[in-house]
Amino acid sequence: MRSVGWRGLICCGFPFTQGQVKFLVSYLILYLFAILYCRWYFYRDPGSFFFDPEEGYRPLYSLTRVEQARSFIKLASNGSITRPGRPHGHTAHATGAGKTLCIGMATVKRPSRQYVDVSLGSLLADLTPDERASIYLNLLFAHTDPKAHPFSEAPWVPAVADNVLTYEKAGYKLPTVRRLEKDKRIEEKSLFDYKFLLRSCYELTDAPWIAILEDDVLAQEGWYGRTMAGLQKIQRQKKGKGDWLYLRLFYTEKFMGWNSEEWPVYLFWSLVAVSVPALGGLYLRGKIPSLRNTLSDPFLAVICLVCVPAAIVLYFLAGRVSVQPLHSGVRPMNRYACCSQGLVFPREIVPRLIHGLGQTEQPRAVDSAIEAWADREGLQRWALVPSVMQHIGGKTYKKTEKENPRDKFEVSGARGLWNFRFELHENLRRAWDGGGSDERQTGEFMGT
């Protein structure tokens, strides 16, 4: 190998030509720019090393949507908005005929702030008359004494709900439910309410789709049209190909990072990334003699053992959601989704689901019980991407570590159950600073 003199560089005892040095310096500069890029654009990815908790959990579109929902509820309270009327003398079952979607929502009194009014307002605020007429909304005040809920007699309730459910009206034995309340057996009670809502929608309507929503979700403008389009797409794709369980309207990216159980896949592709330039360099050097000095052993060693591994490390640090974003549309989501904030079931699966949830041997959270049953039955689960719903509850009974940066915001999902992409909804009209433009807040993120 020829001496490089002043045109080369001795690095770690290995000589490099001037061209090789320029390449390595250029690579270093590009690498530093890549780090800056990741810090600037991937701060909303909870699985990224560059995640900024304060900025990541900052509500953008949610604040706008909450105000729209509150305005709707205010109009419903003063009588300016009414639901499609029930013909005089018709039973609840009759009013559920001919519906497209039945929505079931259970609400309980929360320790501090209530969210059910905002949830219902966001669901109904922008529906066309035909869309609203196609929905049957069951609202359950999930207390043995419904008056324990602060909104049980709110003037907007009859204006937005097609049917107000109570345990007593449904014929349930109140002592059984009261025991669950008294002993604070939250998981059992939640599962009981979930089955109650499923059964009510199934028996009171003939709707082909049944959605069970939690009382602390925020629906995006246009959620109904996107949901219906997603369901139709699943039907076309799955026709004659077996059963599926639900379409997910909310998911959190929090659990969609580099999961440890998939380490063999990561290792395989990392080895491929290292091997390709090594084998390619050796092949080209053998075929083209003039490249022997350029593709020297020391240079290939630096490329394969330093440059490529550094790029791999940065790839993983950037975060999976950032470098491998979910493409918009309907996507399979059998793992890592979480939680049960908004699920839409095809009518035909509901009796099996109710029976399956009734076979749960030990108390467990609703979402865990549903996923366990789906795994046993081999049922496909789907999600609408981006999410059309956000979780805005400030408290949850699920225990986890504190995430203090969220506490400063008026709207923030408990336990970090937050859809980060939801906040960059295309209809966002204002930035957090009150109207100023902020590319970092309103631009695309996470590689989308």
The position carrying tokens 């590689």 is 447
H or E stretch including 167? Answer: helix 167-170
Instruction: Please state the length of the chain.
Output: 448
CA distance 393 to 338: 15
Note the pLDDT tens digit of each residue in 361-400.
677 889 999 999 999 999 999 999 999 999 998 654 444 4
CA distance 138 to 106: 8
Note the pLDDT tens digit of each residue in 2-54.
444 444 444 444 567 888 889 999 999 999 999 999 999 999 999 999 999 88
Note the pLDDT tens digit of each residue in 130-152.
999 999 999 999 999 999 999 99
So what's the pLDDT on residue 283? 85
User: Range with the lowest mean pLDDT among 75-84, 144-153, 439-448?
Assistant: 439-448
Residue 401: pLDDT above 90? no
User: Range with the lowest mean pLDDT among 62-66, 83-87, 166-170?
Assistant: 83-87
The rounded mean pLDDT for the chain is: 84
Query: Check: CATH 3.90.550.10 for 59-85+93-251+338-383+392-442?
Result: yes
Residue 241: pLDDT above 90? no
Task: Report how many helices (DSSP H) and strands (DSSP E) the chain contains, helices first.
Answer: 18, 12
Residue 427: pLDDT above 90? no
278 or 446, higher pLDDT: 278
So what's the pLDDT on residue 10? 47
Taking the alpha carbons at both ends of the chain, their separation in whole angstroms is 47
So what's the pLDDT on residue 93? 40
**CA distances in angstroms from 318 to 153, 171, 183, listed in the order given:** 50, 54, 45
CA distance 370 to 213: 14
CA distance 186 to 227: 30
So what's the pLDDT on residue 321? 92
User: Domain segments of the chain: what residues?
Assistant: 15-44+258-318, 59-85+93-251+338-383+392-442
The pLDDT-based confidence of 433 (bands split at 50, 70, 90) is very low
Contact indicator for 405, 54 with CB cutoff of 8 Å: yes
DSSP string, 383-430: EEES-SEEE--S--SS-----GGGGGSSS--GGG---TGGGG-TT---
CA distance 264 to 180: 45
338 or 139, higher pLDDT: 139
Average pLDDT on 227-248 reads 86
User: Range with the lowest mean pLDDT among 145-159, 161-175, 315-329?
Assistant: 161-175
